[in-house]
Copies of this chain bind each other. A is one copy, B any other.
Amino acid sequence: MTTPREHLIDWLQDAYAMEVQAEKLMDNLRSRLNQYPSLSAKLDQHIQETKGQAEQVKQCLHQLGADTSSLKTGFAAFTGTAQALSGMFVTDEVVKGAVFSHAFEQFEVANYTVLIAAAQAAGEPAIAATLEAIRREEEAMAGWLRDNLPALVQQFLLTGEKR
C-alpha cells in the first residue's frame, strides 16, 4: 500500500527532473532563434521562471522530509527523449521547436494538475497552493506559444527556408 504522501513525493521528484529538463530544452531552442526575437525574449523570461519553479519544487520536497536525489528511471528516460527531440529539428526547427515546447508546457500543466490533486489528498494545502502558482506560469507560457504560433509560421514561410 502506497500512501498519497508517498505518491506526492515520487511525483514531486519527477517534477523536479522535468523542470531541469525544461530549462535545457529552452536553452537549446533559444540558442537557434536569432531571427525570431519575440520568441527568444519569451523563452528568456520563462527560463527564469523555470529556475524558480525547480527551486520551489525542491522546497516542497524538503517540507515533506524528502529531497531531489532519487529520480525515477522512467521519467529520466522521458527527459532524455525530450532532449534528443530538441536537437532533432534541423531546418524547420523554429516551428517544430515551438510546437514541441507547447506540448512540453502542456505536459507540465497536466503534471502539476496531478500534483495538486495529490497534495490535497495528502493533506498538504500549502504545497497545493505553491503548485497552483507554478501551474499558472506554465499555462501562461503554453498560451503564449499557442497564440504566437500562426505569426511564427507566417514569418518562417516568408523566408522560404528549405526543410
Binding stretch for chain B, among A23-31, A41-49, A89-97: A89-97
Asked if A39 CB lies within 8 Å of chain B CBs, one says no
Asked if A74 CB lies within 8 Å of chain B CBs, one says yes
Q: Are A117 and B149 in contact (CB under 8 A)?
A: yes
Asked if A107 CB lies within 8 Å of chain B CBs, one says yes
Q: By DSSP majority rule, is chain A's interface helix, strand, loop, or mixed?
A: helix
Asked if A136 CB lies within 8 Å of chain B CBs, one says no
Given the contacts A78-B85, A106-B103, A162 and B113 also touching, CB distance less than 8 Å: no
Spell out A's residues near B (CB within 8 Å).
Answer: 1-4, 6-7, 10, 74, 77-78, 81, 84-85, 88-90, 92, 95-96, 98-100, 102-104, 106-107, 109-111, 113-114, 116-118, 121, 142, 145-146, 149-150, 153-154, 157, 160-163
